Amino acid sequence: MFKLASKAIEVANKHKVDFGDIRVVEERNQTVAVKNGEISALTDQTTLGYGIRVLYKGAWGFASGRDMTERAVADTALRAIAIAKASRLLMRGRVRLAHEPAYQDFWQTPFLKDPFAVPVQTKLDMLFALDKTLRADKRIKVSESEMNFMREHQWHMTTEGSRIEQVLLNSGGCVTATAVLNGESQLRGYPCSHGGQFLAGGWEIIEAMDLPAHADRVRDEAIALLKAPVCPAGVKDLIISGNQMALQIHESVGHASELDRVLGYEESYAGSSFATTEKLGKFRYGSEIVNLVADATLPGGLATAGYDDDAVKAQRWHIVKDGILSGYMTNREFCGRIGKDRSWGSCRADGYSNIPITRICNLSLMPHKGTTEELVAGIKDGVMMENNTSWSIDQRRLNFQFGCEIGWEIKNGKKGRILKNPRYQGITPEFWGSCDAIAGPQEWRLWGVANCGKGQPGQRAMMCHGSSPARFRKVKIGVHG
Amino acid sequence: MKNIEQVCKKIFKLARGVQCEVMAEKRDSSLTRFADNVISQNVASSALNFSVRLLDGGRSAKMSFNQADDATLKHAVASGLEILKKQKKDPALLPLAKPRPIAPGKNMFDRETAELSPSFRAGKAAELARACGKTGQIACGTVDNGASELVIANNLGLFVRHRDSSVTHSVTVKDHDGSGWAEKTSHDVKNIDFARLNETARAKAAASRKPRDPKPGKYTVVLEPQAVADVLSYMNAYSFGGQFYNEGRSFVCGKLGKQVLSPLLTLEDDAWGAAPGMPFDFEGQPRTKVTLVERGVLKAIVHDRKTARKAGTASTGHALPQPSYFGPLAINLAVKPGKDSLQDLIKGTERGILVTQFHYTNLLKAQTMEITGMTRNGTFMIENGKVAYPIKNMRFTQSMVEAFANIEAVGSEAEFLQGWGYISCPPMRLSGFNFSSATKF
């Protein structure tokens, strides 16, 4: 594949571009799903193509193609150059990329069992058995069990001499049950809903989830939620657990710290960020126990790789350190704007047909101390919420509202009855500033976000957020229309 | 297109003995993105994707690929057949659809639009950015264009195809602490008035400077077309599809034929209407015009073959690519316009809020269509029939069933917008709309 890719580099060099690269990407994506006793998805998708990026006299051009011939690669490179020439019509200064050494390397996601080698019928048998358990009660109107496997094989060459081959493998799955009665519906999932839990690795990820051990509980809790009281409204203390903490980190810190967004380059679509560059190193983002670390080397992380799509080697860095804004998600184009001469390496593209853009890396809340029980014991009047059902945040990542699958009332230090439709609202720095306890490393776990959307044209990216349950004081809870 | 036909024939030959459906989509798209008064991204892509569905007596498999050489086709079909062989029978699985007559769709292809050059797009971005630069404003947005061709064929003799072109100019202008937005999409670039869109966004940005702090609570709102389309698209997707209805998750359940929404609301799905599209669905079946809401009475829901069978009725021609997680979906929605201009809607408001656009809306509760989201790019207080002053953005948390029951007036000027498909939507005035909190800008 590098032989084919080198044609693009040859054309780029011939036209004396400032920088050029080609990523040849082969993807395989398998989805197997059962819903209400029927196969709802049994798809196997493969794509192969290449995206060529050139920086010509300081202006960007990008074109992609799927015709795997040298002539087509050369034509696509010329098209990218022509587009870059058009970009020169509206530029302020020349785009310059931060320096990065050239690498010749191979990297792949560690895994134990190739999920594509597991027979489809084995997967279907497991899913049908789960489905049967979920539907054991007639009040469950929608039962869903699914598995997804994704492999991306990429060959990346740059005009600077990098020649990087990577094979990334992700696996995920879940069970969800929706109970419906008298115009009311309640969803419960394991490990979470929205397509389920994903991590980097193979079939062992599915085995480790042990879905059959949780299907009965998921069904019973969905039914119990039908008759549970609605989460009361008020200003109360909040414990966030399950994958809801991943969404909280993702929306209010992850996107807010993407440097392209901070600089206004996402304004026309997803918006900008309140975490502007003059705040770097000074702004109190959260309480002193809040440490949020970006890490492209994290084992099991969906954004873990040897290199990003700017050909920058994987790194680990603080976004928030001891509560202070300390870093951003960067690419090689924009990192100079905050005085950095090297990108932290968080630039990725969705498949072969998209240009690499700044993305959220794996971003985790570092554990502190104690247990969830100790967090509960410190609350007089509060709610514990688990697993996300809805999310919304404003265009500068300040005002947010989240909804969760299930809540538990907390009174006088004791976790009590379950509550339905639990929701909370907040303003990002005030909310993180109210964090007064984070459980210890024994409860820390990694959650995958498999469908993060950004950019125009829209691109999907995957990343993980690790956390232990955490406690927040005086939060606006139970917001209803 | 000839090439696609040949590939279909090759696939059918390889899949002899089982039912076989091919969906092929060719898409050429280009996009110039600008921000901070410079071009920030300029991209083009060409894609051709095939999806092959194999069915054999209650067994199914779907293989997708983007290379059409003989080896890939052979491997894909062989893999699919192997999956079929080892699979247990699913008695609920429908066989493939037989061909049915399809009425011609509206012409939605314009070659000039499909082939707009990078320099054309850059030129349009430059016109806006240079004007903004002179007045201290910041231009952000996109100019994108392209064309797509879709073929659905099966070895029962079904063969349908549709092609369209598209162009969109989307403008966001920042003016210190103010912001404005305007957007138009069409299949024909001659329908895009770039200068007018630029002016609308720039004027709105200037008018929204120095916003005041609003007080959350219930207000009368005048929603511009994009804001209406945003929440109405959610209502359509989670309420008027046969799957959600069959599962008891739609607010429409048990209410068909009943007056639930305002008599001022009539909502239709019509592939030949104000928001046209392809005349067949993703099962190759003819789309039919469906009146979902007539003067506030819930009239019908849309079906694909699977949900229709469960409901004991016929498909309305609203299938998504099969198998579909989401079920059927209406994608050519049109709200019947009223009599008042946007200015009339404002004039008739004693005290209320004018909303240009919503941001990051999300569904909270399907049975009441409770939705949350933020206002964006121009939010204004209306007092005594006039736009009085700009306000900072607010979050709404509101049942849309209740909101669309409280329509006070529907505007006369519908915009053709992109949602979950296409939607033609006028502005509206609604009473008692709940804003649950405010933000800081």
pLDDT tens-digit readout, A157-173: 999 999 999 999 999 99
Judge if B122 and B47 occupy the same domain: yes
Please check whether residue B121 is in contact with residue B145, taking contact to mean a CB–CB distance below 8 angstroms: yes
* H or E segment to which residue A294 belongs: strand A292-295
Write down the H helix ranges in A363-474.
372-377, 428-433
- Using CA atoms, how far residue B325 sits from A365, B244, B362, in Å, is 33, 11, 19
How do residues A32-79 score in pLDDT, each as one tens digit?
999 999 899 999 999 999 999 999 999 999 999 999 999 999 999 999
Q: Smallest Cβ distance to B118: which of A83, A91, A403?
A: A83
**Given the DSSP bridges, would you call strands B386-390 and B415-419 parallel, antiparallel or unpaired?**
unpaired
Contact A79 B44 (CB under 8 A): yes
How do residues B28-73 score in pLDDT, each as one tens digit?
999 999 999 999 999 999 999 999 999 998 999 999 999 999 999 9
Q: Is A180 on the interface with B (CB under 8 A)?
A: yes
* B279: preceding bond cis by omega (within 30 degrees): no
| Chain A residues within an 8 Å CB radius of B64 | 43-47
**Residue B127 counted as domain residue:** yes
**Residue B202 counted as domain residue:** no
Q: How many CB pairs under 8 A join A and B?
A: 262
> Residue A143 corresponds to which amino acid?
S
Q: Smallest Cβ distance to B374: which of A142, A395, A423?
A: A395
| Residue B89: per-residue pLDDT | 86
CB atoms within 10 A of CB B220: 18
Q: Smallest Cβ distance to A86: which of B122, B371, B436?
A: B122
d(CA B123, CA B127): 6
| Residue A193: per-residue pLDDT | 85
| Residue B88: per-residue pLDDT | 81
Flag whether pLDDT at A454 surpasses 90. yes
d(CA A402, CA A20): 42
Please check whether residue B194 is in contact with residue B127, taking contact to mean a CB–CB distance below 8 angstroms: yes
d(CA B222, CA B410): 10
Contact B86 A121 (CB under 8 A): yes
Judge if B283 and B368 occupy the same domain: yes
| Residue A479: per-residue pLDDT | 85
Contact B361 A392 (CB under 8 A): yes
**Residue B201 counted as domain residue:** no
The Cβ-side half-sphere exposure at B250, using a 13 Å CA radius, reads 25
Query: Taking each helix axis from N to C terminus, what angle separates A2-14 and A70-87, rounded to the nearest 10 degrees?
Result: 40
**Given the DSSP bridges, would you call strands A470-477 and A435-438 parallel, antiparallel or unpaired?**
antiparallel
Contact A355 B49 (CB under 8 A): no
Phi, psi (degrees; rounded to nearest 5) at A333: -75, -40
| Chain A residues within an 8 Å CB radius of B374 | 392-395, 399
Judge if B220 and B175 occupy the same domain: no
Q: Which of B196, B223, B240 is a domain's end point?
A: B196
Q: Smallest Cβ distance to B123: which of A89, A142, A399?
A: A89
How do residues B111-160 score in pLDDT, each as one tens digit?
999 999 999 999 999 999 999 999 999 999 999 999 999 999 999 999 99
Rounded average pLDDT over B91-108: 94
**Residue B206 counted as domain residue:** no
| Chain A residues within an 8 Å CB radius of B47 | 49, 64, 66, 353
Judge if B269 and B358 occupy the same domain: yes
Judge if B89 and B238 occupy the same domain: no
Q: Is A257 on the interface with B (CB under 8 A)?
A: no
| Residue B92: per-residue pLDDT | 81
| Residue B57: per-residue pLDDT | 87
E-strand ranges in A333-419 read 347-348, 357-358, 363-365, 381-393, 399-411, 414-419
- Using CA atoms, how far residue B220 sits from B265, B351, B435, in Å, is 17, 7, 10
Phi, psi (degrees; rounded to nearest 5) at B434: -95, 115
Contact B118 A90 (CB under 8 A): no
> Residue A145 corresponds to which amino acid?
S
Which position has the token pair 């603080």?
Answer: A318
Contact B92 A38 (CB under 8 A): yes
Angle at the Cα of A245 (from A240 to A250), degrees rounded to 5? 150
Q: Which of B196, B223, B246 is a domain's end point?
A: B196
| Chain A residues within an 8 Å CB radius of B371 | 481
Judge if B440 and B345 occupy the same domain: yes
Q: Is A178 on the interface with B (CB under 8 A)?
A: yes
Write down the H helix ranges in A174-258.
203-209, 215-227, 244-249
We report the CATH number of the domain holding residue B188 as 3.30.2290.10
**Total H helices, total E strands in chain B:** 10, 19
Domain containing B100: what range?
4-196
| Chain A residues within an 8 Å CB radius of B65 | 45-47
E-strand ranges in B155-289 read 159-175, 178-186, 217-223, 267-269
* H or E segment to which residue B197 belongs: helix B194-207
Contact B126 A89 (CB under 8 A): yes
| Chain B residues within an 8 Å CB radius of A46 | 64-67, 72, 76
d(CA A323, CA B51): 49
**Residue B339 counted as domain residue:** yes
Q: Smallest Cβ distance to B399: which of A121, A399, A481?
A: A481
Contact A403 B144 (CB under 8 A): no
Flag whether pLDDT at A2 surpasses 60. yes
Chain A's closest residue to B403, CA to CA, is A481
How do residues B225-278 score in pLDDT, each as one tens digit?
999 999 999 999 999 999 999 999 999 999 999 999 999 999 999 999 999 999
CB neighbours of A164 closer than 8 A, spacing ≥ 6? A103, A104, A105, A106, A107, A154, A155, A156, A157, A306, A307, A311
Contact A264 B43 (CB under 8 A): no
Contact B374 A394 (CB under 8 A): yes
Contact B323 A183 (CB under 8 A): no
Contact B325 A393 (CB under 8 A): no
**Given the DSSP bridges, would you call strands B332-335 and B421-425 parallel, antiparallel or unpaired?**
parallel
Contact A48 B67 (CB under 8 A): yes
Flag whether pLDDT at B1 surpasses 70. no
Give how far B108 is from chain A: nearest CA, Å.
21
Contact A264 B174 (CB under 8 A): yes
Band of pLDDT at residue B355, cut at 50, 70 and 90 = very high
**Residue B204 counted as domain residue:** no
How do residues A457-477 score in pLDDT, each as one tens digit?
999 999 999 999 999 999 999
Judge if B187 and B270 occupy the same domain: no
Percent helix / strand / coil, chain A, rounded to 5: 25, 40, 35
Judge if B292 and B187 occupy the same domain: no
Contact A399 B374 (CB under 8 A): yes
> Residue B401 corresponds to which amino acid?
V
> Residue B209 corresponds to which amino acid?
R
Residues above pLDDT 70, as percent of chain A: 100
Chain B's closest residue to A395, CA to CA, is B359
A-interface mutation test, from B32, B36, B40, most A Cβ less than 10 A away = B40
How do residues A417-453 score in pLDDT, each as one tens digit?
999 999 999 999 999 999 999 999 999 999 999 999 9
Tokens of A241: 């657990």
Give how far A374 is from chain B: nearest CA, Å.
31
Give how far B161 is from chain A: nearest CA, Å.
22
| Residue B18: per-residue pLDDT | 96
Contact B66 A46 (CB under 8 A): yes
Flag whether pLDDT at B206 surpasses 90. yes
Q: Please tell me the total number of residues recorded for chain B in this structure.
A: 441
d(CA B435, CA B396): 4
The neighbouring-strand residues paired with A48 are A26
Q: Is A403 on the interface with B (CB under 8 A)?
A: yes
**Residue B72 counted as domain residue:** yes
Judge if B169 and B233 occupy the same domain: no
| Residue B2: per-residue pLDDT | 61
Give how far B1 is from chain A: nearest CA, Å.
16
Contact A79 B393 (CB under 8 A): no
Buried b (16+ CB within 10 A) or exposed e, B165-188: bbbbbbbbbbbeebbbbbbbbbbe
| Chain B residues within an 8 Å CB radius of A267 | 35, 138, 140, 172, 174
Mean residue pLDDT of chain B comes to 96
Judge if B223 and B100 occupy the same domain: no
Judge if B164 and B220 occupy the same domain: no
The neighbouring-strand residues paired with A394 are none
User: Does the structure's ipTM exceed the value 0.90?
Assistant: yes
Q: Is A60 on the interface with B (CB under 8 A)?
A: yes
How do residues B174-192 score in pLDDT, each as one tens digit?
999 999 999 999 999 999 9
Judge if B118 and B219 occupy the same domain: no
Q: Which of B162, B196, B230 is a domain's end point?
A: B196
Please check whether residue A371 is in contact with residue A379, taking contact to mean a CB–CB distance below 8 angstroms: no
Give how far A395 is from chain B: nearest CA, Å.
7
Q: Smallest Cβ distance to A90: which of B126, B174, B440?
A: B126
Contact B122 A48 (CB under 8 A): no
Rounded average pLDDT over A305-333: 98
Contact A92 B32 (CB under 8 A): no
| Chain A residues within an 8 Å CB radius of B88 | 121, 124
Q: Is A274 on the interface with B (CB under 8 A)?
A: yes
**Residue B433 counted as domain residue:** yes
Name the domain count of chain B: 2
Q: Smallest Cβ distance to A86: which of B45, B118, B247?
A: B118
How do residues B300-327 score in pLDDT, each as one tens digit?
999 999 999 999 999 999 999 999 989 9
Angle at the Cα of B390 (from B384 to B392), degrees rounded to 5? 125
- In three-state secondary structure terms, A11 is helix
